[in-house]
Every structure is written in structure tokens, then in C-alpha cells.
Structure 1
Amino acid sequence: MDTLENLVKMKLPLFIMMVATNCASTPDGSGLNLNGKMFTLSGYAGLRLFSPYMPPPWFSTTPHTTTRPYTTNTRPYTTNTRPYTTNTRPYTTNTRSYITTRPHITTHPYTPWTTAPTTRGVSVCLRYISDFDRFSYFTLSPSSSSLRLYSDGQGFTLTFNGYNNINLYPRIRLWSDSRQNMWTSICFTVDTVKKVAQMFRNSDMSPRKLLPTQYTWSGEPVIDFSDFEGQVTDVQVWDYPLRYKEVLYYTSAGFYGPYQGSVLNWSYISFSIRGGTLLEETFEQQMKLPAGGGKPRRRLRRDKSKEARRQLS
């Protein structure tokens, strides 16, 4: 069976069904271009996206140090006494000790999460389709500096550090035409310098809210979907707060300008799944396929003898 990477690059199948008992993922240290692809998730499955430039979330990042001590080399010289008739020159014992310790350090080829530099903030954008109003979207950086996004049907709740909550209701029209389609596009931004957060949904925005406490995002670039049910695509993460024009570029699906996440980029990303998850072409790509599976239809053969008798009569 071909690897997932080859199947995605060749674009042969309409969909790829991925069912994993424990975990299935992209090959270690590699990323895939998922432009034009979407994941279908259920409440009992899970999806984790991470940067191909960083170690997979289940890899250990603690450097392993091995010290190889070398033995002490001592070279003793014997005492040489040369008696002469009147002169005796005793030579003292010369001892030279050499102690050398050379530590051998072996580290993993990836940078540990803990060395991630602090940033000016964080922004996350994605597109989704779901028939539920109340659900959990995702958790960003689940093991450190985590951010969680929920929906209560009317607005959104952003939780950070496990206990601080901000309610964000995008009801203010920011621009009139953002080239909307079947997808719901959402973005949230956190500015840790100004200590504010804001939420966007399609053409609407929420008021800017002050953070209740100081927050600095420096966690690992990993985003986890565990309670979401529906389709999700075009996940992008930046390590700074987006400007309004950049949000417009995203919500218009690139019509007004290009966009690309600085931390996680949908066109080159790694993932792991838990349970049954479906990876397939987006609805827009499927609509471009010819009807009938692309096979030409057979024309009905005419009975020439019956046609001739009909004309004579």
C-alpha cells in the first residue's frame, strides 16, 4: 500500500479513510500540502496538527548526555643516583599525572519546546462546517501555555492558563464583502503587548477585550481537535496578532491578498489522528469532478430496421 504522502501528492483517490487503533500520522520529520483537503472529525476521534520543523508531540525532547571518563595515566620515573668519588647527584622522582574527561553529548535533532522564544502574541484561523452550535473547537499548545476555544452558540469563550476566561461575541460588521462561501471562517488574535484579545467570524468582529491577567504565549506549535464534529480545513497559526487587513485576506479565502501562517501552515503541515478520521478533497474540489465518476456515458444504439419500417409506414 502506498504511503499517505504519495497518495496525497498523486491525488488519485477521491478520499482517504484513516482508521487508527492508537495513532496514525504523517512520516516523521515530514509535512504534507493539504491545500484543497479537509478532515471530517467525530466526537470520539481526534486530530493533532504540528509543525514539520519541530518534533512530533509524542517525542521526548530532553537531551541525553553521556560522559566517558578516561583513566588516569601516571608515568613514574625511578630515582637514579650516580655516585662519584666526591659528588653524588641524586635525581628526584618525577611523576606526571594526566586526567582527561571528555563528555560525549548526544542530542535529538529537534529543538525542545521549552526553548521557544516569547512572542508578541498569537493568532489562529480556520474554516469549518458543523451542524452543532455548542462545542469545543480546539486546544492550542495543550502541554504548555495552552489556549482553548469554545462556542456557546452565540459567541466564543477563550480560556488560557486553565482558569482565565474571555467571552467574545463577533456581532459588529467590519467589512461588507468578504467573498463568503459554504465555510464558516473564524480567527482569534491575542496581543500580549497591548494585553487584548479579539474574535472574528466571517465579516464580523467582536469588541477588543482586555486580558484579565498577563499572558505570554510561548508554547509548542501544536493544535489539538478532540471534541469537534464536522469538517475542518485551512488551519493557520501565527506567532503575532494579525492586523485587520490580514484577517480580511484570510476570511476572503485569499481574494484580497495572500496569507500564510508563520507557525503552522496548511500547505506544509504534519498531523496525527486518533480514532476514525476522514481526509478527503474539499467540497469545492469534489464539485469540479465530472459526473458519473468521470466515465463517459454509453450512447443507446438505434435499431436501424425498426427505424426504417417506421419511416415507410
Structure 2
Amino acid sequence: MRAFIFMLTYMITSFAEKQDLSGKMFTFPVESDTAHVILVPNQSKSLTAVTVCLRFFSDLTRAKSLFSLATPTNANAFLLFKDNAYHVYQETSTRFAGLEDKQNEWNSICATWDSQTGITQIWVNGKQSVRKGISKGGIISGTPSIILGQEQDSYGGGFNRGESFSGMLTDVHMWDKVLPYPEIALYMNHIPQKTDGNVINWRSLDFTANGYVIVENQVN
């Protein structure tokens, strides 16, 4: 039933007018197992490479989901997660230690994965991680469920308050390729990029906010 509701929402929002959220942010004012934002991708083709970039502001010290992409067969098709370290999930997971975000400040994050080599890497506030291997030869296929604010334990649902995000999120972009380092550096330094995300584009975004989520002007 939850999958049916997600598909219905996907079909409805696919016809929604896209919004330019430049200078805007999603605010998640409380911890919950309900508040989330569904992002409708600009394409739903199979993916063999991914880059996700976003900025977040939070005072949470516990585990939290920053970006959750599920497919009908894989709840963690591409998940960016933070507890005492950063984790990237694609079928399996890998852990990146020693890259600390800052509480009550804006943090810029990018994560990449390339199926051909299996190499995944993250950048946090301009500092890059070691390059690690995960899911070499893997593929992300099936209609994606992309959610901010919650971690999907099942397709479009299975939310857990203890893994939810509270705080602010902005400048979310996703590409179907590994973004070159110079482009990631531009993002980290808040310099306009040559190209916006071609899967998720913050400046042309289809989304549905559910529960206690507010769209408001970004605060510095």
C-alpha cells in the first residue's frame, strides 16, 4: 500500500510546476518519523554513476539521514548518512572517518559513486575523503524514491525518528555522473557552477513537502 501511495504521489507531482528554490531552504523544525520531502527526479533511467551535493545546518549529534534514494528492490540504493562518521550506501555501505561537520553552521557535502570502478568518495566543507570501493559493477534501476528528512527502510517509507533529520537543507543537486573535481570545488566554495544537477536541480525542482516542513528564505 505504501508503494502504491508513493507511485500515486510520484505521478501527481510529475505534472507539478517546477520551482526555482535559489535562496530558499527546507526547514525541519522538529524530530519526527513523518516530516519529509519527496523529490521528483528529472529522469528515472538506470544509473551507473551518481553525484549528490547538498548543504545542511543542524545541531543534531545523533545519527541522521541527509539524502535517501530507494528503489523497489533496494531501500538503500544511494544513501548519504551521518552518525559518528559519514556513510555512503549502494547495496552495501562504506564508512568515511575523520571528516567532521560543524554544529549550528552550514556544511557543504558532496558524495560520488562510479559503478565501473566501484570508487566512492565524499567531500565535507572542502576536505576530501580517501577513495574507497563499493558495489563495483552495480546499477541503480527502477523508479526512484528520493526523500529528504528521513531514511527509507522500505520503498517510500519505513521511517524512524531516531534517523530523521532536523535543521535546514538547501542547494540539493544530483547528477547521473561523477562530477569532476573542479566542479565540486566550485560547489564547496559557493561559486556558481557550469551545470546544475540533471537528475535533481535545486533551481528547477519538483517536490512535495509532507508533515512539519517549511520552505523559507535561507539564513546565513
Q: Identify the TM-score tier after normalising by the shorter chain.
A: 0.7 to 0.9
TM superposition score normalised by structure 2: 0.75
Unaligned stretches of 5+ residues in structure 2? 1-8, 151-163
Q: CA deviation at 1:140?
A: 1.5
Residue 189 of structure 1: aligned partner? 112
TM superposition score normalised by structure 1: 0.54
Residue 26 of structure 2: aligned partner? 39
Q: Percent identity?
A: 30
CA distance in 2 between counterparts of 1:46 and 1:247 reads 26
Q: CA deviation at 1:200?
A: 0.7
- 1:131 counterpart (36, 45, 59): 59
Residue 157 of structure 2: aligned partner? none
Residue 78 of structure 2: aligned partner? 147
Q: CA deviation at 1:223?
A: 2.1
CA distance in 1 between counterparts of 2:24 and 2:69 reads 21
CA distance in 1 between counterparts of 2:72 and 2:216 reads 29
Residue 230 of structure 1: aligned partner? 167
CA distance in 2 between counterparts of 1:170 and 1:189 reads 18
Residue 275 of structure 1: aligned partner? 211
Q: Secondary structure at the match of 2:213?
A: strand
Larger Rg: 1
Q: How does 1:261-272 map to 2 (within 5 A)?
A: 261-272=197-208
Checking the alignment, whether the CA contact within 8 Å between 1:138 and 1:149 is kept in structure 2 is yes
- 2:184 counterpart (224, 247, 250): 247
C-alpha distance after superposition, 1:122-170 (max 9, x if no partner): 01000000001331222113435521222123x2112222xx1111235
Q: How does 1:158-307 map to 2 (within 5 A)?
A: 158-161=88-91, 164-169=92-97, 171=99, 182-211=105-134, 214-220=137-143, 222-225=145-148, 226=150, 227-254=164-191, 257-284=193-220
Shift >6 Å, 4+ stretches: none
Checking the alignment, whether the CA contact within 8 Å between 2:50 and 2:112 is kept in structure 1 is yes
State the AA in 1 paired with 2:86.
F
Cα distance change of structure 1 residues 220 and 26 upon mapping to structure 2, 3 Å threshold: closer
Checking the alignment, whether the CA contact within 8 Å between 1:122 and 1:217 is kept in structure 2 is no
Checking the alignment, whether the CA contact within 8 Å between 1:236 and 1:266 is kept in structure 2 is yes
Q: Secondary structure at the match of 1:246?
A: helix
Aligned length, in residue pairs: 187
Checking the alignment, whether the CA contact within 8 Å between 2:26 and 2:213 is kept in structure 1 is yes
Q: Relative contact order (alpha carbons < 8 A, sep ≥ 6): 1 or 2 greater?
A: 2
Residue 50 of structure 2: aligned partner? 122
CA distance in 2 between counterparts of 1:190 and 1:248 reads 17
Cα distance change of structure 1 residues 228 and 160 upon mapping to structure 2, 3 Å threshold: same
Q: CA deviation at 1:27?
A: 8.0
Checking the alignment, whether the CA contact within 8 Å between 1:170 and 1:204 is kept in structure 2 is no
CA distance in 2 between counterparts of 1:124 and 1:27 reads 21
